């Protein structure tokens, strides 16, 4: 059998009839494609189980992520996100959002010796995209620079597979087991270390957005730990703190510091973040 993560399943080819397609990435149970054709330009996401290795147990639940994301998108938006099952898991098809992500966009700020400062109108648009989600009763759970796509008509916050807030139908649901540790709030890391799972919250999203601003502007993770440290060691470093001093200058740096406060109740809400950036 050909490896289905190296070509689009027939069910998707039938639905989209693309004239061209390319794989954007394939990693950790997720294969993302860009498909173009008469029916438009789409992102296709395929989920498949991660098999057990010597270091990690199997992660079968990840195969459900595209269907779960489609459920969340359909809850949030009027236009329908198609989804279904394929041989190894679930898939969804969503509009393609053109543009660099926050990490790419702020690259000039990270060049050695650069005096370029991060553009605050972009920071505000990212915060507004997250605020829009919080207002609707959801926390994102996986806020990171790659998930903000900065288009000409605004910022799109993508990858809603781990969002929590409203009930998700059981068939697609799975517990939240943490996200990329660079963006994990201390209370999330603590819970994942103790119980294996956590509950995404708006407060943890605000922390993650602060960490996303920090790393995109400076190239440094908010909390110091060795690159190759195992995940539990990374999480313990986040729990133990403190975070690195925020080197971003001015009021933006101060705001990032507030967003990274260890106690969730001490952090600004996303509405307050938007207000602080809107001057
Ligand atoms: N709708 C979209 N429009 C444009 N690019 C997308 C879209 N969805 C995903 N991508 C690209 O694929 C990458 C991975 O997608 P993501 O939704 O984060 O899936 P994963 O579950 O693999 O993390 C994104 O960082 C982005 O580059
Ligand atoms: Mg992602």
Distance of alpha carbon 180 from the chain centroid: 9
Tens of pLDDT, residue by residue over 126-181, are 999 999 999 999 999 999 999 999 999 899 999 999 999 999 999 999 999 999 99
Both tokens of residue 244? 């690195």
Our answer on whether the CB atom of 32 is closer than 6 Å to any ligand 1 atom is: yes
Distance 67 CA to ligand 2 centre (A): 14
How much is the pLDDT for 143?
98
Both tokens of residue 54? 């010597």
Distance 150 CA to ligand 2 centre (A): 15
Query: How would you classify residue 28: left for phi > 0, otherwise alpha for psi between -120 and 50, otherwise beta?
Result: left
Our answer on whether the CB atom of 69 is closer than 6 Å to any ligand 1 atom is: no
Contact between 268 and 259 under an 8 Å Cβ cutoff? The reply is yes
Distance 147 CA to ligand 2 centre (A): 6
Our answer on whether the CB atom of 41 is closer than 6 Å to any ligand 1 atom is: no
Distances (CA, A) of 162 to 138, 165, 187, 226: 10, 10, 17, 26
pLDDT for residue 242 is more than 90: yes
Distance 159 CA to ligand 1 centre (A): 6
DSSP calls for 195-209: HS-B---HHHHHHHH
**What is the C-alpha separation between 83 and 65, in angstroms, rounded?**
11
Ligand nearest to the CA of 27: 1
Higher pLDDT, 57 or 76: 76
Our answer on whether the CB atom of 159 is closer than 6 Å to any ligand 1 atom is: yes
pLDDT for residue 101 is more than 60: yes
**Which atom from ligand 1 is nearest to the alpha carbon of 24?**
12
Q: What SS3 string covers 75-91?
A: HHCCCCCEEEECCCCEE
Our answer on whether the CB atom of 94 is closer than 6 Å to any ligand 1 atom is: yes
**Terminal-residue alpha carbon distance, the chain:** 57
DSSP calls for 221-248: -SS---TT--HHHHHHHHHH-PPPPP-S
Task: Categorize the per-residue pLDDT at 82 as very low, low, confident or very high, splitting at 50, 70 and 90.
Answer: very high
How high is the mean pLDDT of the chain? 95
Domains and CATH numbers, the chain: 4-95 (3.30.200), 102-277 (1.10.510.10)
Distances (CA, A) of 38 to 22, 43, 84, 179: 16, 14, 21, 36
């Amino acid at each position: 059998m050909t490896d289905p993560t190296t070509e689009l399943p027939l069910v998707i080819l039938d639905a989209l009839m693309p004239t061209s397609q390319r794989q954007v990435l394939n990693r950790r149970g997720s294969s993302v494609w860009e498909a173009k054709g008469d029916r438009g330009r789409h992102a296709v996401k395929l989920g498949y189980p991660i098999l057990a290795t010597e270091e990690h147990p199997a992660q079968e639940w990840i195969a459900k992520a595209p269907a779960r994301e489609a459920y969340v998108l359909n809850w949030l938006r009027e236009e329908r996100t198609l989804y279904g099952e394929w041989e190894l898991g679930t898939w969804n098809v969503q509009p393609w959002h053109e543009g660099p992500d926050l990490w790419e966009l702020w690259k000039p700020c990270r060049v050695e010796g650069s005096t370029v400062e991060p553009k605050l109108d972009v920071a505000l648009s990212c915060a507004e995209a997250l605020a829009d989600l919080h207002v609707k009763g959801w926390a994102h759970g996986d806020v990171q620079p790659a998930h903000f796509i900065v288009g000409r008509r605004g910022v799109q916050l993508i990858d809603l597979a781990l969002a929590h807030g409203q009930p998700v139908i059981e068939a697609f649901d799975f517990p939240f087991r943490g996200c990329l540790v660079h963006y994990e709030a201390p209370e999330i890391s603590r819970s994942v270390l103790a119980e294996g799972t956590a509950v995404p919250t708006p407060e943890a999203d605000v922390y993650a957005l602060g960490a996303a601003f920090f790393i995109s502007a400076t190239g440094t993770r908010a909390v110091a730990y060795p690159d190759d440290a195992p995940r539990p060691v990374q999480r313990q470093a986040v729990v133990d703190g403190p975070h690195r001093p925020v080197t971003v200058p001015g009021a933006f740096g101060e705001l990032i510091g507030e967003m990274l406060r260890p106690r969730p109740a001490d952090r600004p809400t996303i509405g307050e973040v938007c207000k602080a950036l809107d001057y």
